[in-house]
Amino acid sequence: MVIVMAPGATEEQIEHVVERVESVGGEAFVSKGVERTIIGLVGDIDSFHHLNLRALGGVADVHRISDPYKLVSRQHHPERSTVWVGPAGHRVPIGPETFTFIAGPCAVETPGQTLEAAQMAQAAGATVLRGGAFKPRTSPYAFQGLGLEGLKILAETREATGMPVVTEVVDARDVPIVCEYADMLQIGTRNMANFGLLQAAGEAGTPVLLKRGMTATIEEWLMAAEYIAQRGNLDVVLCERGIRTFEPATRNTLDISAVPIVQATSHLPIIVDPSHAAGRKDLVVPLARAGIAAGADGVIVDVHPDPESALCDGPQALVGSDLRDLAAAVRRIPPLVGRVDAAERLQVT
Amino acid sequence: MVIVMAPGATEEQIEHVVERVESVGGEAFVSKGVERTIIGLVGDIDSFHHLNLRALGGVADVHRISDPYKLVSRQHHPERSTVWVGPAGHRVPIGPETFTFIAGPCAVETPGQTLEAAQMAQAAGATVLRGGAFKPRTSPYAFQGLGLEGLKILAETREATGMPVVTEVVDARDVPIVCEYADMLQIGTRNMANFGLLQAAGEAGTPVLLKRGMTATIEEWLMAAEYIAQRGNLDVVLCERGIRTFEPATRNTLDISAVPIVQATSHLPIIVDPSHAAGRKDLVVPLARAGIAAGADGVIVDVHPDPESALCDGPQALVGSDLRDLAAAVRRIPPLVGRVDAAERLQVT
Amino acid sequence: MVIVMAPGATEEQIEHVVERVESVGGEAFVSKGVERTIIGLVGDIDSFHHLNLRALGGVADVHRISDPYKLVSRQHHPERSTVWVGPAGHRVPIGPETFTFIAGPCAVETPGQTLEAAQMAQAAGATVLRGGAFKPRTSPYAFQGLGLEGLKILAETREATGMPVVTEVVDARDVPIVCEYADMLQIGTRNMANFGLLQAAGEAGTPVLLKRGMTATIEEWLMAAEYIAQRGNLDVVLCERGIRTFEPATRNTLDISAVPIVQATSHLPIIVDPSHAAGRKDLVVPLARAGIAAGADGVIVDVHPDPESALCDGPQALVGSDLRDLAAAVRRIPPLVGRVDAAERLQVT
Amino acid sequence: MVIVMAPGATEEQIEHVVERVESVGGEAFVSKGVERTIIGLVGDIDSFHHLNLRALGGVADVHRISDPYKLVSRQHHPERSTVWVGPAGHRVPIGPETFTFIAGPCAVETPGQTLEAAQMAQAAGATVLRGGAFKPRTSPYAFQGLGLEGLKILAETREATGMPVVTEVVDARDVPIVCEYADMLQIGTRNMANFGLLQAAGEAGTPVLLKRGMTATIEEWLMAAEYIAQRGNLDVVLCERGIRTFEPATRNTLDISAVPIVQATSHLPIIVDPSHAAGRKDLVVPLARAGIAAGADGVIVDVHPDPESALCDGPQALVGSDLRDLAAAVRRIPPLVGRVDAAERLQVT
Q: Where residue D215 falls among pLDDT bands split at 50, 70, 90? A: confident
- A4, A17, A138: best mutation site toward chain B, by most B Cβ within 10 Å? A138
Please answer whether residues C130 and C103 qualify as being in contact, where contact means their C-beta atoms are separated by less than 8 angstroms.
Answer: yes
- pLDDT of C25: 84
C-beta separation of A216 from A244 below 8 A: no
Note the pLDDT of residue A58: 87
Half-sphere exposure of A10 (CA within 13 A, CB side): 5
Residue C104 has pLDDT above 90, yes or no: yes
* Nearest CB to C65; choose among A36, A66, A75: A36
Residues 107 to 166 of A: which have CB under 8 A from any B CB?
136-143
Q: Which chain D residues contact residue A329 at CB under 8 A? A: 293, 336
Best mutation target, A53, A56, A141, A175, to test chain B (most B CBs within 10 A): A141
Lowest mean pLDDT among A174-178, C31-35, C230-234: C31-35
pLDDT at position C224 is 95
Q: Are A167 and A183 in contact (CB under 8 A)?
A: no
B133 and B281 fall within a common domain: yes
The span from the CA of B206 to the CA of A68, in Å, is 37
B275 and B141 in a common domain? yes
Any C CB within 8 A of D96 CB: no
Integer CA distances (angstroms), A232 to A94, A201, A223, A283, D140, in order: 19, 10, 14, 38, 53
Chains that touch A (3 or more CB pairs under 8 A): B, C, D
Distance CA(D272)–CA(C50), nearest Å, equals 28
C349 has pLDDT over 70: no
Higher pLDDT, B308 or D60: D60
* Residue type, position B335, single letter: P
User: So what's the pLDDT on residue B346?
Assistant: 65
Residues D136 and D54 in one domain: no
Asked if the Cβ–Cβ distance from D140 to C311 is below 8 Å, we say no
Using CA atoms of C308, C311, C313, C316 in order, give the dihedral in degrees to the nearest 10.
Answer: -30
Chain D positions touching C227 (Cβ under 8 A) are 140
Distance from CA of C305 to the nearest CA of D (A): 13
Identify whether A69 is part of a domain.
no
pLDDT of residue C27: 84
- Say how far apart CA B239 and CA B192 lie, in whole Å: 11
Contact B232, B202 (CB under 8 A): yes
D64 inside 8 A of chain A by CB: no
- Higher-confidence residue: A25 or A207? A207
Q: How far is A91 from chain B (nearest CA, A)?
A: 31
* Strand boundaries in chain C, DSSP class E: 2-5, 27-32, 37-42, 59-63, 83-85, 92-94, 98-104, 128-130, 165-168, 184-187, 208-211, 236-240, 270-272, 298-302, 340-341
8 Å CB contact of C194 and D190: yes
Report the residue of D141, D143, D170 to disrupt the C interface, i.e. the one with the largest count of C CBs within 10 Å: D141
Domain-embedded: residue D70 = no
Q: What is the DSSP string of A306-329?
A: -GGG-SS-GGG-B-HHHHHHHHHH
Which residues of chain C lie closer than 8 angstroms to D55, CB-CB? 307-308, 310, 314-315, 317
Measuring CA to CA, which residue among A190, D263, C19, D256 is closest to residue B197? A190
Q: What is the pLDDT of residue B347?
A: 62
Inter-chain contacts counted by CB atoms under 8 A, chains A and B: 106
Q: Measure C150 CA to nearest chain A CA, in Å.
A: 34
Q: How far is A281 from chain C (nearest CA, A)?
A: 23
Coil, strand or helix: which one is A155?
helix
- Both A125 and A32 in one domain: the answer is no
Say yes or no: B222 contacts chain C, CB-CB below 8 A: no
Residue of chain B nearest A191, judged by CA positions? B194
Quick one: average pLDDT of A155-164?
A: 96
3-state DSSP of chain D? CEEEECCCCCHHHHHHHHHHHHHCCCEEEEEECCCCEEEEEECCHHHHHCCCHHHCCCEEEEECCCCCCCCCECCCCCCCCCEEECCCCCEEEECCCEEEEEEECCECCCHHHHHHHHHHHHHCCCCEEECECCCCCCCCCCCCCCCHHHHHHHHHHHHHHCCCEEEECCCHHHHHHHHHHCCEEEECHHHCCCHHHHHHHHHHCCCEEEECCCCCCHHHHHHHHHHHHHCCCCCEEEEECCECCCCCCCCCECECCHHHHHHHHECCCEEECHHHHHCCHHHHHHHHHHHHHHCCCEEEEEECCCHHHCCCCHHHCECHHHHHHHHHHHHHCHHHHCCEEHHHHCECC
Cβ-Cβ contacts under 8 Å, A190 against chain B: 193-195
Query: Same domain, yes or no, for D112 and D241?
Result: yes
Residues B242 and B283 in one domain: yes
As beta bridge partners, residue C129 has: C103, C165
Q: Residue A328's closest chain D neighbor by CA?
A: D336
* CB-nearest partner of A31 from C35, C42, C244: C42
Exposed/middle/buried for residue B112 (C-beta within 10 Å: 0-12, 13-18, 19+): exposed
Q: What is the pLDDT of residue C137?
A: 76
Mean pLDDT taken over chain D: 89
Q: What is the mean pLDDT of residues C285-303?
A: 95
- From the candidates C256, C263, C270, C333, which should be mutated to test the interface with B, based on the most B CB atoms within 10 A? C256
Whether C46 maps to a domain, the answer reads: yes
Contact across the interface for A55 and B311, Cβ inside 8 Å: no
User: When comparing pLDDT for A347 and C69, which is higher?
Assistant: C69
Classify residue A275 as exposed, middle or buried by CB count within 10 Å of its CB (0-12, 13-18, 19+).
Answer: buried
User: Of A331-340, B193-202, C38-47, D326-335, which range is least confident?
Assistant: C38-47
With cut-offs at 50, 70 and 90, classify the pLDDT of residue B323.
Answer: confident
Is residue A59 located within the same domain as residue A89?
A: no
Stretch C215-227: mean pLDDT, rounded?
94
Instruction: Please tell me which of the candidates A256, A283, A329 has its beta carbon nearest to residue D254.
Output: A256
Q: Which residues, including other chains, have CB under 8 Å from residue A67's CB and lie 6 or more apart?
A: A73, A75, A219, A222, A265
Which member of A29, A35, A75 has the closest CB to residue C66? A35
Please write the tens of the pLDDT for every residue from A100-152. 999 999 899 999 999 999 999 999 999 999 999 998 777 777 778 889 999 99
- Whether the CB of A295 is below 8 Å from some CB of chain D: the reply is yes
C214 and C281 both lie in a single domain: yes
| pLDDT for res A314 | 67
Residue C178, in any domain of the structure: yes
User: Mean pLDDT across the stretch A305-328?
Assistant: 77
Q: Are C53 and C17 in contact (CB under 8 A)?
A: yes
Task: Identify which of D224, D186, D222, D226 has the alpha carbon closest to the alpha carbon of residue D207.
Answer: D186
User: pLDDT exceeding 90 applies to what percent of chain D?
Assistant: 58
Interface touch A42/C65, C-beta < 8 Å: no
Would the CB atoms of C2 and A246 count as touching at under 8 Å?
no
To which H or E segment does residue A46 belong?
Answer: helix A45-49
Tell me the pLDDT tens digit for each residue of D160-214: 999 999 999 999 999 999 999 999 999 999 999 999 999 999 999 999 999 999 9
> Do A93 and A28 have their domain in common?
no
Q: Note whether D257 contacts A329, CB cutoff 8 Å.
A: no
pLDDT, residue D68, reads: 82
Euclidean distance between CA atoms D213 and C138, whole angstroms = 13
Which pLDDT belongs to residue C347? 62
pLDDT tens by residue, C20-72: 888 888 888 887 776 778 888 877 777 777 677 887 888 888 877 777 888 99
Give the residue among A83, A85, A90 at the shortest CA–CA distance from A159.
A90
Interface contact flag, A332 D336, Cβ < 8 Å = yes
Range of the domain at D25: 2-63
pLDDT at C346 over 70: no
Nearest chain B alpha carbon to A318: B55
Name the domain count of chain B. Answer: 2
In a domain, A268, yes or no: yes
**Cα separation, C135 vs A54, whole angstroms:** 45
- pLDDT at residue B58, rounded to an integer: 87
Q: What is the pLDDT of residues B239-274, one digit of tens each?
A: 999 999 999 889 999 999 999 999 999 999 999 999
> Per-residue pLDDT tens for B18-65?
998 888 888 888 877 767 788 888 777 777 776 778 878 888 888 777
Whether the CB of B247 is below 8 Å from some CB of chain A: the reply is no
Subunits that touch chain D (at least 3 Cβ pairs < 8 angstroms)? A, B, C
| A293-313: pLDDT as tens digits | 999 999 999 988 887 777 776
Whether the complex's predicted ipTM is more than 0.95 is answered with no
Nearest residue to A43 (alpha-carbon basis) of A61, A59, A71, A66: A66
Percent share of chain C, pLDDT over 90: 58
Residue-wise pLDDT tens digits, C137-169: 777 777 788 899 999 999 999 999 999 999 999
For the ranges C85-89, C143-147, D48-52, which has the lowest average pLDDT?
D48-52
Residue B14 shares a structural domain with residue B110: no
* Mean pLDDT in residue range D250-258: 95
Confirm whether B120 is domain-assigned: yes
pLDDT at A53 over 50: yes
pLDDT value, residue B188: 95
- In this complex, do C35 and A66 lie within 8 Å of one another by their Cβ atoms? yes
Inform me whether the C-beta atom of residue D215 falls under 8 Å from chain A C-beta atoms: yes
pLDDT in tens, A193-245: 999 999 999 999 999 999 999 989 999 999 999 999 999 999 999 999 999 99
Residue D133 pLDDT > 90, yes or no?
Answer: yes
List the beta bridge partners of residue A240. Answer: A272
By C-alpha distance, which of D80, D79, D82, D46 is closest to D230?
D46
Digit-coded pLDDT (tens) for C105-145? 989 999 999 999 999 999 999 999 999 999 877 777 777 88
Of residues D341 and C20, more confidently modeled: C20
**A64 near B CB under 8 A:** no
CB contact burial D47-64 (16+ within 10 A = b; e otherwise): ebbebbbbbbebbbebbe
Residues D32-59 have a mean pLDDT of: 77
Does residue C78 lie within any of the structural domains? Answer: no
Packing angle, helices D281-294 and D320-332, rounded to 10: 0
The backbone torsions φ and ψ at residue A330, rounded to the nearest 5 degrees and listed phi first, read -65, -30
CB of D164 closer than 8 Å to CB of D85: yes
CA B1 to chain C, closest CA, distance in angstroms equals 18
Q: With contacts defined as CB-CB under 8 Å, which chain C residues touch A7?
A: 75
Question: Cβ distance C52 to D309 under 8 Å?
Answer: yes
Instruction: Note the Cα D154 to chain centre separation in Å.
Output: 22
Mean pLDDT of chain C: 89
Contacts of B among chains (3+ CB pairs under 8 A) = A, C, D
For residues B39-48, one letter each, b for 16 or more C-beta atoms within 10 angstroms of the residue's C-beta and e for the rest, the string is: bbbbbebeeb
Q: Containing H/E element for C226?
A: helix C218-230
Is B70 among the domain residues? Answer: no
Choose, out of B65, B75, B219, the residue to mutate when testing the contact with D (most D CBs < 10 Å): B65
Identify which of B52, B170, B220 has the shortest CB distance to residue A196: B170
Q: What is the pLDDT of residue D349?
A: 44
Q: Decide if D45 touches B, using CB distance below 8 A.
A: no
Task: Please tell me the predicted confidence (pLDDT) of residue A349.
Answer: 45
Which residues of chain B have a CB within 8 Å of the CB of A310?
Answer: 52, 55
Measure the CA–CA gap between C82 and A232, rounded to whole angstroms.
61
Q: Does B35 touch chain D (CB under 8 A)?
A: yes
Residues of chain C neighbouring A61 (CB-CB closer than 8 A): 65
Q: So what's the pLDDT on residue A76?
A: 80
Q: Give the Å distances, CA to CA, from D215 to A246, C6, C213, C245, D193.
A: 8, 32, 10, 10, 11
Q: Looking at residue D246, which CATH number applies to its domain?
A: 3.20.20.70
| Other CB atoms within 10 Å distance of the CB of residue B12 | 10
For residue A186, pLDDT beyond 90: yes
Both D45 and D151 in one domain: the answer is no
Q: Is B214 on the interface with C (CB under 8 A)?
A: no
CATH of the domain at B24: 3.30.70.1140
Chain A hits for B143, Cβ within 8 Å = 50
Residue B349 has pLDDT above 70, yes or no: no
Residue C88 at interface with chain B, using a CB cutoff of 8 Å: no
Residue A308 and residue A276 in one domain: yes
Lowest mean pLDDT among B199-213, C136-150, D255-269: C136-150
Mean pLDDT of chain A: 89
